[in-house]
Structure 1
Amino acid sequence: MRNGAFLAAGSLVLSYAVWNQQLVSSESVKGIKQFSSQPDGSGSEALNTITLLSENQVTQRLRQLDQSFYVQRGQGILRYDTAQLPSNSPIEDSHVEQVITVPGLKAGKDTDLYFFGIFDGHGGPYTSAKLAQSLVPYVAHKLGQVYGSDPGAVEQASSAAVDAAMTSAFLGLDRDLIFGSLGKLLQEPSKQTLVSALPAISGSCALLTMFDSHNSILKCAVTGDSRALLGCQDANGQWSVKPLSVDQTGDNIDEVNRIRNEHPGEPGAVRNGRVLGSLQPSRAFGDHRYKVKEVGGKSFRDLPDHLKVYFRREPRDCKTPPYVTAEPVITTTPVDSNARFMVLASDGLFELLENDQIMKLVVSWMDKEKNTQSKPLSHPSNYLLEDKNAATHLIRNALSAGGQRDYVSTLVSIPSPMSRKYRDDLTVTVVFFGDEADPTSTSGQLILNPDATAPLKAKL
C-alpha cells in the first residue's frame, strides 16, 4: 500500500439469475415475522411470484460485493471485511475504508489514522456516493488545520480539537452540497448543474469512525441511524458488546426534544416518529427540502419544468427550516487489549439483529476461523457458519430468522423493487483489532484476502 489511502471498490451492476425448477408464491413470504411490510396483493400473478435461486446462486449474490483485506502495518488494525446486499436498484448505500499517514515525532514511526465509513442513502444513491468520495478528504483537511506543520502535533492535539475538526468537516460538506450545488443550479439551470445538485436533493446518513494508531483512540461520528459496535473480551474470556453510537431518529426522545426546542410552537415538527411526519432519521446529509426553502433569494419553484420534476414537494408544516442537520454526535473510546472487533452497519442490519446477537455471531465466526471455542460463548446450533467474510456472515444470518436457510433463499431471491417490502439495503464492515502481522506478508502493505473476497474482485 502506498503512503496515502486505500479505498473501497465501486458498485457492481446487478443481474438476477433464475432457477426455473422451483417457484414460490409471494404469499408464502407472509410468514416471515421479522418484516413488517407485507405484499399488497396488487399486480399480475407473474409479479407476485418469486423465482428461487439455488444455494450456490444465493451465496454468489451474498458475496457479489464482499471484500477482505489484511492490514500489515503493525498499527493496531489486523484486517477488515466488507459486504453489501442491495435491495434497491441501484443500491443506495455506500462505504469507504481509508488510511491517512501523519508524520510523527519519532523517525520512522508515523501515525496511521484509519477511517471506516458507512453511508446509508435514501431517495437515491447520489448523496451516499458523494459522502464516500468526499467526507474523509473534508475531515483530513480540517485535521490538517489542527495539526498544522508540526510533525508532532498529531500526538499533542486535544480530543476536543479533533472532535471540532470532524464536526466542522461534516457541516462544511453538507453546506457545500446544499448552498453550493443548489445555488449554482438556481443561478444556471441546466442538466449539468442538476447532476451536481443531486446529492443535495437526495439524502444519506453517515457513520464515520477514525482509529488513531498513536494513542489507540477510536472516534465515532454519527449523523443518522447507522450504528457501530465494539466487541471486547476480558481477561477471564468473557465477551461484551459496547455501542459506539446512538441512533438519531424521530423515535429518539433526545432528538425529538432537540428539534421541538429549535422550533417552538410547531407540534408537527416531529410526528409519528418522523421529522415533519416524513423523514425517519433526524440528522442527515442532503435532504434539502428539510433545510432550505430557497437559496440566494431564488426558489426551487422558479426552476424550468423539466428540472423541477426532480424535486419532491415540500413537507407539510415546513415553516422554519432547517429541521434536519448533518452535525454529528461524536464518541471517544480507548481501544485497549480487550477490544477484538468493531462492526459498522446501515440500519438494515439492526432491524434484523440485536447488538448482542451481532456480537455472538462475530465471536462464533472467529472461533470457527481459528478452529477454537470460546468457552463462555458456545456456538448456537442455529448459526450458519459457512462464509469466510465476517460481514457476509452477518448478512446471511440476519436474513436467516434464526438459522433457517429457506428464509435466506427466499429473501435473497426476491428482486427489486419487491424486495423493499421485506428488507433494506444491507451494508456491513467488520474491523479486527490487534498488532500481529502475517509473517508471509510484506510489512506495511494492504493484502487482499482472496478467500473472503468476491471472485471477480480478487482477480482485479
Structure 2
Amino acid sequence: MSTHEPARTAYTQVEVPSGFEGPAAECAFVPLSDGEVQARLRAVSRPENAVFDRAHGRRADSVTFQPCTQYSSQDRYVVQQLDVHGRKWTFTGVFDGHLGDATVEHTAYHLPIIVKQFLQKALTGPSSPIPGPEVIRDILSQAIISFDDAIAGDVLELFPGGIASLAQRSNEDIRRVINDYDGSGVNYKKAKLCMYGTTALVALVDPDYQNLWVANLGDCEAVLVSPTPNGRFKCEVLTDLHNGDNESEVQRVRGEHPGEQECVLNGRVLGAIAPFRCIGDAPFKQPAEFTRRILYNLYPGIPDSSPWDEFLRRNRTPPYISSHPDVLHRHLPSPLNSASANGQPAPPTQPHFLILATDGLTEQYEDFDREEMAEDWARCVGSAYYGQAKGPGRPTHDPDNLALHLLRHALGGDDAVKVSQLLTLDMDTPWMDDVTIVVQVL
C-alpha cells in the first residue's frame, strides 16, 4: 500500500453530493480527513511542476486525475520547451482522447515535434526575426492539419492506388497488410491510430514571452487570467467549444454538407460522435469504404459493427469532422517595465496565468455558465499564487501546485466529505470524466 494512501476502513454511507446519478448515488465511500484527502489527491493526480524561467517565475503546473483505479485515463498533457535554432519556445497542451488511448498518446508525443519542425523551417537561424503573429498562427494551424492528415494518409500509402484500389483487394489481402503485429507491427500501429481520436488544445509562447497563441480542436477550455490594478483578476475565455452545443459549429457542418439532414443528428456528428473538430477519427474524415475495408479488417475486428454501420450509411461526402483549429493570438505584457513616468524603475509586471483544462474539469461546473466558471478559476488560481506573496511584487517562494489547487477547489475545496466521495466511491467503472489541468505562469 502506498504511504500516501490511507487504509480503507469500513465503508460509510452518507449523503452523496448533488451531481451523482444512477448507481453512483447509492455507492459507499471512504470518509477521509482533510490531510488524507490532500494526500490521496496528490497520489492520484500526480502533480508536476516545470520551471521555464526562475528569474521571472515562469513555470507550468499540471495534474491529470481519474479516481477510478480500474480505468485508464484517456487524457494526456504536454509541457515542453521547443529548441528552435537555440531559442526556446514554450509548448503546453491538453488532449482528451476518446474510444481508446492510441491516438491521444501518439498526438501528445509527436505533435510538439511537428510544430518544432514547422517553426524551424520558418525561422532560418537564431538571429532571424520572429514573423508576425498571423504568420505564426498559420504555421501552428498548418502543423496541426498536416499532422492529422498523415494519420490516415500513412495507412492509404500501404495500398497503392488508395481507396479506389480496395475494391480489387480481398479481405485476406488487406488483413495481411495491416495486421503485421507478429512482425514489425508498423502497419498495425498506423492503422490503429485511425480507430480513435482526441481533442487538442495547445498553447505556444515565443522565446521573449511577448506573444501567446492558442490553438483548439474540440471542447477543452483555455482561460487567460490577468491581474488588475485594484488587486482583482480579470479573465478571458480563449476557446470556442466545437460540439453540438455551439450552434455556429452545427451550422458550419450543415453548410458543408447541404441536403444531408443527418450530418448532425441529436447534437452529434453523423449521430455518433460529440466533438466536431479533433485529431484522428478517420471514419468521419474518410469515405465509408476506408472503415469497412480497412478498419473492419484490423485485428481483432469489431464484434458488433451495427453501430458503425449506422453512422457509416450517413457518410456520403466526408470529411464531417474538421482538423482545422481555431487559433487565437494575444500580446503578453513585458515582464519588466524599464521606468515609470518619473524616471524611477517601475515595479515588475505581475504575471498572467493561462489555464488549459479538459472537459472533465468543466463538468464540475454544471451550475455555472462559462463566464462564471472562468471567473471562479481566475479567483482560485490568482488567490493561491498571491496568497504566499509578501507585498505587491513577485512571491518570495513558489506557492503550491496551482493546477492541484484548482482541482481540489473544483472537487469541493474545503468540503472534505464531498472530495472524499469523489475520490473513493466503491465502483469499478468511472463515476466522473478524466480531468487534466495545466496552469502556466506567464
- Both structures adopt the same fold (TM-score exceeding 0.5): yes
Match of 2:267 among 260, 273, 283: 273
Over 3 Å counting, the alpha-carbon distance change for 1:20 and 1:288 in structure 2 is: same
User: 1:201 aligns to what SS in structure 2?
Assistant: coil
**Pair 1:165 & 2:139 matched:** yes
User: 2:13 aligns to what SS in structure 1?
Assistant: strand
**Pair 1:131 & 2:107 matched:** yes
Match of 1:38 among 16, 22, 26: 22
User: 1:307 aligns to what SS in structure 2?
Assistant: coil
- Match runs of 1:117-266 below 5 Å: 117-147=93-123, 149-153=124-128, 155-181=129-155, 184=158, 188-190=177-179, 191=181, 192=185, 193-214=187-208, 216-266=210-260
**Pair 1:66 & 2:78 matched:** no
How far is 1:326 from its partner? Answer: 1.7
Moved segments of 4+, more than 6 Å: 295-298
> Residue in 2 aligned with 1:85?
65
Over 3 Å counting, the alpha-carbon distance change for 1:415 and 1:344 in structure 2 is: farther
User: 2:308 aligns to what SS in structure 1?
Assistant: coil
How far is 1:244 from its partner? Answer: 1.9
> Residue in 2 aligned with 1:283?
277
Over 3 Å counting, the alpha-carbon distance change for 1:78 and 1:305 in structure 2 is: closer
**8 A contact 1:251–1:274 mirrored in 2:** no
How far is 1:219 from its partner? Answer: 0.3
Deviations 1:100-156 (A, max 9, x none): 2334xxxxxx64210001011111222221111000111111122211x34333x24
Give the share of equivalent positions with the same residue, in percent: 26
Deviations 1:67-93 (A, max 9, x none): 11333365x662221111115621100
How far is 1:373 from its partner? Answer: 9.2
In the alignment, the residues of structure 2 paired with residue 57 and residue 181 of structure 1 have an alpha-carbon distance, to the nearest angstrom, of 49
**8 A contact 1:233–1:339 mirrored in 2:** yes
> Residue in 2 aligned with 1:50?
29
In the alignment, the residues of structure 2 paired with residue 346 and residue 295 of structure 1 have an alpha-carbon distance, to the nearest angstrom, of 32
User: 1:24 aligns to what SS in structure 2?
Assistant: coil
User: 2:194 aligns to what SS in structure 1?
Assistant: helix
How far is 1:254 from its partner? Answer: 1.5
In the alignment, the residues of structure 2 paired with residue 186 and residue 170 of structure 1 have an alpha-carbon distance, to the nearest angstrom, of 30
- Match runs of 1:15-34 below 5 Å: 19-24=8-13, 28-29=15-16, 32-34=17-19
**8 A contact 2:194–2:283 mirrored in 1:** no
Q: Give structure 2 stretches of 5+ with no counterpart.
A: 159-173, 334-348, 366-372, 394-398
> Residue in 1 aligned with 2:297?
303
How many aligned residue pairs are there? 386
User: 1:100 aligns to what SS in structure 2?
Assistant: strand
Over 3 Å counting, the alpha-carbon distance change for 1:205 and 1:296 in structure 2 is: closer
Q: Which amino acid aligns with 1:257?
A: Q
Q: Which amino acid aligns with 2:378?
A: M
How far is 1:217 from its partner? Answer: 0.2
Give the TM-score taking structure 2 as reference length. 0.78
Q: Which amino acid aligns with 1:321?
A: P
How far is 1:306 from its partner? Answer: 3.1
Deviations 1:11-63 (A, max 9, x none): xx9x98752233337xx43xx3345x43289xxx9xx4434555554323321
**8 A contact 1:183–1:296 mirrored in 2:** no
Q: Which amino acid aligns with 2:407?
A: I
Match of 1:409 among 406, 415, 420: 420
In the alignment, the residues of structure 2 paired with residue 196 and residue 136 of structure 1 have an alpha-carbon distance, to the nearest angstrom, of 19
**8 A contact 2:5–2:36 mirrored in 1:** no
**8 A contact 1:224–1:281 mirrored in 2:** yes
Q: Give structure 1 stretches of 5+ with no counterpart.
A: 1-12, 104-109, 375-386, 434-460
**8 A contact 2:283–2:290 mirrored in 1:** no
User: 1:82 aligns to what SS in structure 2?
Assistant: strand
**8 A contact 2:67–2:422 mirrored in 1:** no
In the alignment, the residues of structure 2 paired with residue 137 and residue 415 of structure 1 have an alpha-carbon distance, to the nearest angstrom, of 41
Give the TM-score taking structure 1 as reference length. 0.75
User: 1:167 aligns to what SS in structure 2?
Assistant: helix
In the alignment, the residues of structure 2 paired with residue 67 and residue 134 of structure 1 have an alpha-carbon distance, to the nearest angstrom, of 21
Q: Say which one has the larger Rg.
A: 2
Deviations 1:393-436 (A, max 9, x none): 11111111x6422110001112665333xx21010111112xxx
